Amino acid sequence: MMRRAASKCRPADVSLNGYRAPDPARSRNEVGIEVDNNLQSGVRGRIRPSGATVVGSEAMSSRVAPHGVAQGARATGGATSARRAASNARASIGLRGCFSRGRRRSTTVAARTERTDATAASSGDDPAAFIRDFATVALKMQTAALRGVADVPSQLAKQLQRAAAPPPAGFPPGPPDDVAVALGADPLAFIVDTQRRHGDVVGLSLAGERVVLVADPKVAADVMIHRAGLFVKEGTAFFPGSSLAGEGLLVSDGESWARQRRLSNPAFRAAAVDAYATAMARAGAELLRREWSARSVRDCYEDFNDLTLRIVAEALFGADVRGARAREINGAIKEAFEFFGRRSAAGMIVPEWVPIPDNFAYNAAVTRLDKAVYSLIAERRQKRVDGSPESPDDPDLLDRLLDARDDGEGGDGGGMDDVSLRDELMTLMVAGQETSAILLSWCCVNVASNPRCAAKLLEEATAVIGPDPLNDLPNASHYSRLKYAEAVVLETMRMQPPAYMVGRCCAEDVFIAGGKYALPKGTTVLIAPYLLHNDARYWDAPGEFRPERWLEPGGVPKGDAATGVERGAGSGGGGGGGDADAPMAKGALKGMGPGGVYVPFGAGPRVCIGTGFAMMESALLLAMVARAVDVRLRPGADPPRPRALITLRPENVRLDVVPKRRWW
């Protein structure tokens, strides 16, 4: 693992897996000779006196991602980059929240390359391997940097030109000046104030990019559901891209996305999700037995980050990630996620190829993670070749994705290649870990602020699961009966949706709001679930935490002419409901939700594939917590405030965790 040295150390003191990099006091020629002598995998590089890097292998060169090291890292892990398109996008430095992924794919398809050994030994055990890995990461970053820097002037010129140009005809009205600084300083306050001043559809200039903020439920439904094909992920401003997720479901588009979605769907059907409940309960019990076994003030966000990481790793890889391998994978994931947190919290988005210690540590973590993941994929494939059962009795997500075949309507009958598998596994880690930790943290904050809610959770959990929090562990059959716990989760996502904004990009010139506004191709549309979920026109007492609202009959949050929906009449935005006697929770996550104004997991074809997983995980863990401990605000402390970055986190979630002593 690469560690940043003390601030007084020279750059030479940056180390990887405990070994020190070559001393920069030595000449570059000497360093180049040492690197050459230690590169034994057929990929040879030289650091020349001029600082230019020569990559001696065409295969390696074709794998290096121009704006990151995803492709190059796969070379270390032994991936086939067969179907990868060479990226044209260059990540420019911009204000946080004002970073455009740009066009990720070019029309030129990268050449097919052969897989290399995916089971290479950890570089921490071999100085020569360390030199290879260190040099590989450094060369990839330098190559990416040379390409990225070349595009910076043209990108800046383009952004300045857009910023100086007047809004196109028919563009929605909004603030006259560029809003990058205001949005970057406090995204949540900005979108609330912008809606108050300018309405539900607002045109913005964001660091030279044309952006439209949407808090109109009908326009949101049009973008996410009715005309979803016209609004894509590629080119979306505000959300920075990452080499970690590759071309997974979060960022891909078109037929590539559709095929991956078809192949991934079986792994998230109800029966498959139910099988993951054991991992959730086991990890939850470990937290209660260890970190939460004695009264203390805990950083709940950090605790839940570790907890959800263990859960998602076991759900993805099963028994293969226990022990030393689990520590290797979880350590690399945690380091990558900490990088995302630091990058989101910074005032500037720095591209991953910029040669700074944080980026090098991140790229090294991705390389280690790729090695481990590709090794797991190779082992599972080999078991099938050796005659092991294709479908184990207790399949994990990797098994299900390996067994998936695109044999439905429009399918090609094939499965996922190694790179696709890697990208989807990484995507599930990214999407399934941090947002769940944020959601559970907000749930605990709300429960700590509402003692009556805590008492109801305890009563329900004891009746449904049993009285002993450490031995009566929940399973999938309990989830459907934890109605109040589900209501707490739904209400938490209403008030504090982790995905408080959802981004799309116009794939062509389009009209929205019934033809009222014209959006040119390339315009980013930012839909704001936070605004929809907290609007007094659609919700009774939106500022109050009231889980009971989800248990009341009616089907919509509020009968109001603003939504065009009457209470009990179902949802006008493609949402669930329709049964006047059914609680609002029924169908809450279908379409645009109750009243067409509830979309914590998005909506339409791109609705979060892990919705069922996240809901069951949150409800089961919340019930476990309610039986074992009391979570309380610290004396004299106010509830944590929301901090909007890429996601909506609670700030400083330090709560007083008080175990119910009779269980220990």
pLDDT tens, residue by residue, 54-72: 333 333 233 223 333 333 3
At 270, list the tokens: 């109800």
The stretch 643-656 carries a mean pLDDT of 90
At 57, list the tokens: 């292998």
pLDDT tops 70 at residue 388: no
Residue 595 DSSP label: G
CA 630 from centre of chain: 30
Question: What's the pLDDT score for residue 21?
Answer: 38
Q: Following DSSP, what letter does each residue of 25-90 receive, concatenated?
A: TS-HHHHHHHHHHH--SS--EEE-TTS-EEE--HHHHHHS-TTSSHHHHHHHHT---TTPBPP---
**Domains of the chain, each with CATH number or no CATH:** 2-158 (no CATH), 172-244+500-535 (3.30.43.20), 254-499+600-663 (1.10.630.10)
What is the C-alpha separation between 79 and 71, in angstroms, rounded? 9
The stretch 383-398 carries a mean pLDDT of 73
Q: Which range is least confidently modeled, 101-115, 166-180, 275-289?
A: 101-115
CB within 8 A of 164, min separation 6: which ones?
Answer: none
Tell me if 363 sits within 8 A of 67, measured CB to CB.
no
pLDDT tops 50 at residue 9: no
pLDDT-derived band at 389 (thresholds 50, 70, 90) equals: low
The stretch 250-271 carries a mean pLDDT of 88
What is the C-alpha separation between 613 and 412, in angstroms, rounded? 28
Question: What's the pLDDT score for residue 114?
Answer: 31
From residue 584, give the alpha-carbon distance in Å to each of 172, 216, 587.
34, 21, 7
Angle 298-303-309 (CA atoms, 0-180°, nearest 5)? 175
Tell me if 241 sits within 8 A of 67, measured CB to CB.
yes
pLDDT-derived band at 155 (thresholds 50, 70, 90) equals: low
Q: Which residue has the tokens 């391998």?
A: 325
- Number of other residues whose CB lies within 10 A of the CB of residue 23: 11
Stretch (H or E) spanning 202: strand 201-206
From residue 494, give the alpha-carbon distance in Å to each of 378, 497, 557.
42, 6, 11
% of the chain at pLDDT higher than 90: 43
pLDDT digits (tens, 9 = 90+) for 570-620: 444 444 545 667 899 998 999 999 999 999 999 999 999 999 999 999 999
Closest to 146 in 3D by CA, of 21, 25, 54, 245: 54
What global pTM score does this model have? 0.76
Question: What's the pLDDT score for residue 349?
Answer: 63
Where b means 16+ CB within 10 Å and e means fewer, 63-86 reads bbbbbbbbbbbbbbbbbbbbebeb
% of the chain at pLDDT higher than 70: 67
Q: Which range is least confidently modeled, 24-28, 40-44, 448-452, 533-537?
A: 40-44
Question: What's the pLDDT score for residue 198?
Answer: 97
Question: What's the pLDDT score for residue 366?
Answer: 84
Where b means 16+ CB within 10 Å and e means fewer, 397-410 reads bbbbbbbbebeeee
* 463 compared with 314, residue with greater pLDDT: 463
The count of C-alpha atoms lying within 13 angstroms of the C-alpha of 228, restricted to the half-sphere facing its C-beta, is 16
The stretch 236-245 carries a mean pLDDT of 69
Stretch (H or E) spanning 325: helix 324-345
Question: What's the pLDDT score for residue 150?
Answer: 65
Q: Name the β-bridge partners of 654.
A: 299
- Number of other residues whose CB lies within 10 A of the CB of residue 125: 9
- Number of other residues whose CB lies within 10 A of the CB of residue 372: 23
For helices 70-77 and 127-164, angle between their N-to-C axes, nearest 10 degrees: 160
pLDDT digits (tens, 9 = 90+) for 438-497: 999 999 999 999 999 999 999 999 999 999 998 999 999 999 999 999 999 999 999 999
Question: What's the pLDDT score for residue 357?
Answer: 82
Tell me if 443 sits within 8 A of 622, measured CB to CB.
yes
